[in-house]
Amino acid sequence: MDAQTILDVRDLKIDFHTEMGVTRAVDQVDFQLKKGRILGIAGESGCGKSVTALSIMRLLPKPVSRIVQGRIMFDGVNMVTLPINELHRIRGKKIAMIFQEPMTALNPVHGIGKQIMEVYRLHFPDFSPREMTTAAVRLLEKVGISDPHQVMKKYPHQLSGGMRQRVMIAMSLACEPQILIADEPTTALDVTVQAQILALIKDLQRTSGMSVILITHDLGVIAENCDDVVVMYAGRIAEKAPTTTLFKHPLHPYTKGLLTSIPSLAREPKTILPTIKGAVPSLLNMPEGCRFASRCPRVENICRKKVPQERRMDQNHTVACHLADA
């Protein structure tokens, strides 16, 4: 792990035990988060992007899911095997997380102020109540809330979606984390509010120098906010590259398919969109070999037999495809 890497995920495998059998939701996932960078994890529903994010914080639902293999190295320790009491010192303090639906992530029966101060009570027990209040007010100001004293007294249901997400971000920043994991932070919000929240995250990242993992299904959000991208498909990584490279020279057929199927503003209206044929195979019944094989326009025999390993095509550009060529 070089000095620039702050989080190193290696060969991660996560199983889910369901009524219908054991499924591997995340398989051979391998990526690095660099200091001060925004890493985007993109993919469609069920591709394992949220499961990967939750596993970093060890928040996977128990006992149905289990990390069966792999390491998640942060600050010289392996998060996968860390005892729970030591994990508590990292969770929320050094690595923080925000979620898609701020209404369900906030506690409805406690005021906003109390919920923010709870973070300080946990991680900085020697703060006096007054110090906690000042710190909480400063945080709310930092996330662009103009009347922090008023908001502190309110309950989550009294705030709008955008305000709730700002409060969530304020809470996650309370301990000045080194890593912020944002799992679809703007999916529940309107476009104009989404633009505000993303600008805020980017701004906070720039001023604090923290690293961010941004999980989203929206490639537009990735293009505008991330430095690097990981594209996931059916539990595996399809492609990894710096954002500009990925959008300019996508190598994996899945990435290419995704990019061309977006109804972009530049496209002539009422024309037929290119599509990816078929559907994502069920996790319970994954094909041997490449998981994208059944939908791939370039499929060959080898794709159905052998799992493609990640190949380095360029310094920072890797792709898991037998046939991709630079």
Partner 1 sequence: MVILQVSNLKKHFPVTSGVFLRRTGWVYALDGVSFTVNKGETLGIVGESGCGKTTLGRCIMGLYAPSDGQVMIQDQDVSRLTAKQRKHLALNLQMIFQDPFESLNPRQTVKDILEEKYIIHGKKTKNLTSEIARLMETVGLLPEMLSKFPHEFSGGQRQRIGVARAISLEPEIIVCDEPVSALDVSVQSKILNLLLELQRTMGLTYVFISHDLSVVKHVSDRIAVMYLGKIVEMADARDIYKNGQHPYTQALLSSIPLPDPASNRDRIILKGEVPSVEHPPSGCRFNTRCVHVQPICRQTEPELRKNATDPNHVTACHFFI
List of residues contacting partner 1 (CB under 8 A): 44-45, 160-163, 190-196, 198-199, 217-225, 243-244, 247-248, 257-259, 261-265, 267, 269-276, 279
Minimum distance, C-beta of residue 82 to partner 1, in the bound complex (Å): 34
- 3-class state of residue 236 by DSSP: strand
Nearer to partner 1 (CB atom), residue 124 or residue 247: 247
Minimum distance, C-beta of residue 224 to partner 1, in the bound complex (Å): 5
Give 101's DSSP letter. Answer: -
Minimum distance, C-beta of residue 146 to partner 1, in the bound complex (Å): 9
Minimum distance, C-beta of residue 77 to partner 1, in the bound complex (Å): 34
Nearer to partner 1 (CB atom), residue 90 or residue 215: 215
- Residue 225 to residues 166, 175, 195, 221, 271, Cα–Cα distance (Å): 17, 23, 11, 6, 29
Q: Which of 46, 36, 33, 122 has its CA nearest to residue 79?
A: 33
DSSP string, 266-322: TSPTTPPPP---S-PPPGGGPPSS-TTGGG-TT--HHHHHSPPPPEE-SSS-EE--S
Nearer to partner 1 (CB atom), residue 128 or residue 271: 271
Find the DSSP H helices in the chain. 49-56, 84-90, 102-105, 112-123, 129-142, 148-153, 161-173, 191-208, 219-225, 243-248, 253-261, 301-305
Nearer to partner 1 (CB atom), residue 262 or residue 284: 262
Cα separation of 276 and 254, whole Å?
8
Minimum distance, C-beta of residue 258 to partner 1, in the bound complex (Å): 6
Cα separation of 223 and 136, whole Å?
32
Minimum distance, C-beta of residue 168 to partner 1, in the bound complex (Å): 16
Nearer to partner 1 (CB atom), residue 53 or residue 222: 222
Nearer to partner 1 (CB atom), residue 91 or residue 164: 164
